[in-house]
Amino acid sequence: MISIRSPQQLGAALRAARKQLGLTQPQLGLAAGVGVRFIVDLEAGKPTVRLENVLRVIDALGGELQLSGLPSPVAEDQPEGNDHGA
């Protein structure tokens, strides 16, 4: 797992993954359903890229986004602090 703490680190990690898979920027853009300009901006660490498209690129590279160090979400069918009526 890679620890990402900046847009530049994310861009570098995705560029390395793309190259390891032997994909060009246009090929990755096509696979992810985004434009080549988006791939260029993402790999350059542009901080204002659209999250939806970042997730598409990660998926196209065969990766997934995981968050660590954050509390787990509460199940929607159980309100917070539910002590089962006790």
- Would you state the pLDDT for residue 6? 96
pLDDT digits (tens, 9 = 90+) for 27-61: 999 999 999 999 999 999 999 999 999 999 999 99
- Would you state the pLDDT for residue 86? 47
User: Where are the domains positioned within the chain?
Assistant: 7-60
Give the Å distances, CA to CA, from 27 to 20, 21, 82, 84. Answer: 13, 11, 49, 53
pLDDT digits (tens, 9 = 90+) for 53-84: 999 999 999 999 998 889 988 876 655 555 55
| pTM of the entire predicted model | 0.81
| Percent helix / strand / coil, the chain, rounded to 5 | 45, 0, 55
Which of 13, 20, 84, 21 lies closest to 54, judged by CA?
13
Return the CATH class of domain 7-60.
mainly alpha
Mean pLDDT of 2-23: 96
